[in-house]
Amino acid sequence: MQDNTRTISMSQFEQEVYSGLTASPKYLSSKYFYDEKGDKIFQDIMAMPEYYLTNCEYDIFENHKSDIIKLFTQESKSFNLIELGAGDGKKTKILLKHLTASHIDFKYLPIDISQNALDQLEKSLQIEMPTLQTETLQGTYLETLERINSLRDTKKVILFLGSNVGNLMHQQAVSFLQQVQESMKEDDLFFVGFDQKKHPQTILDAYNDKSGITEAFNKNILIRINKELKANFIPDKFLHWETYDPETGTAKSFLVSKEEQLVNLQDLDLTVSFKQWESIHTEISQKYDDEIVSWLADRSGLKIVAQFSDHKKYYKNYAFKKI
């Protein structure tokens, strides 16, 4: 049982770790993968041949940048370009360079839960595009929506790339999209990457590569808990496990305890017991098709105004407006 008196003084990270590890079945939120080490491992993931998502979105931006920019500047020549979960901004830079070269009046506002990711991004932008107007915002997507609301007067183009939306289950995604929709005005645009359903093996390989990079990423959450909450997880005692259900389009990552064990989290005054083969669910990576995206849009008060696909038809970016 959770002790409410203690909960009041707990950080959000502590509360969520406590709730997840005392729940049945156990879970941890994938947003906590991203500390300094996790950000670096995710860059290694993006460079893996198996992680097709990055190359596909890169391919879309390279091949359709003029049409995408035309869409961004349709009703108004000046706007705020807000990016939710910007990471290293590698793909966004294609659009930023094109916008800058076209002398378009815009300000770039990357948002990320990881201050380290934002610091690195800001530093690289200062070197690569010194004239770009940038303001970084640290926080979760939902917290930062409040800040988006305060920018009501200038047109907003909101980017949500990398199929980050796939970390949300459909009901959570609807509620999230609704909140973004509520922050939008008629002319605002919401530009989102949705990884598409494809051969199940291709999907499994992207989240379970042979060289063990995705395994290291998944286990980094245990290392982070060890470091930040004085815990004693032994990552080798857990198995990285990936599943994909082609019926629902849901890929899931787990950490599975290889043996019966006790783990102590000193800062939470908590001992967690694991049965042999007991799991911790750590991430969902939902895959989509046009029908599901239309359904999500419908339920969120959004309409699809444009869509772009890569050459392999593995991935799509959809542009939404408020209905």
Q: Among residues 117, 216, 265, 296, which is the contact residue for ligand SAM, using CB under 6 A?
A: 117
Q: Among residues 20, 85, 110, 249, which is the contact residue for ligand SAM, using CB under 6 A?
A: 85
Amino acid symbol at 65: K
Q: How far is the CB of 205 from ligand SAM (least distance, A)?
A: 17
Q: Which residue number has the CB closest to ligand SAM?
A: 162
Report the number of secondary-structure helices (H) and strands (E) in the chain.
Answer: 11, 13
Contacting residues for 72 by C-beta, under 8 A, at least 6 apart = 79, 81, 99, 106, 157, 189, 191
138 binding ligand SAM? (CB under 6 A) = no
Q: How far is the CB of 77 from ligand SAM (least distance, A)?
A: 26
Looking at 113-121, 124-132, 231-239, 267-275, which segment touches ligand SAM (CB under 6 A)?
Answer: 113-121
Q: Where are the beta strands (DSSP E) in the chain?
A: 26-27, 78-84, 105-112, 137-138, 156-160, 189-195, 238-245, 250-257, 261-265, 270-274, 279-286, 302-309, 315-322
Site for ligand SAM in 34-63 (CB under 6 A): 34, 42
Given the complex with ligand SAM, which of 99 and 118 has the nearer CB atom?
A: 118
Looking at 9-17, 20-28, 108-116, 273-281, which segment touches ligand SAM (CB under 6 A)?
Answer: 108-116
Q: How far is the CB of 235 from ligand SAM (least distance, A)?
A: 20
- Identify the burial level of 130 via C-beta atoms within 10 angstroms of its C-beta, where 0-12 means exposed, 13-18 middle and 19 or more buried: exposed
Site for ligand SAM in 151-180 (CB under 6 A): 161-162, 164
Q: For residue 210, give the H/E element and its range.
A: none
CA dihedral 72, 132, 103, 79 (to 10 degrees): 30
In the complex, the residues that contact ligand SAM under the rule CB under 6 A are 31, 34, 42, 85-87, 91, 112-114, 117, 140-141, 161-162, 164
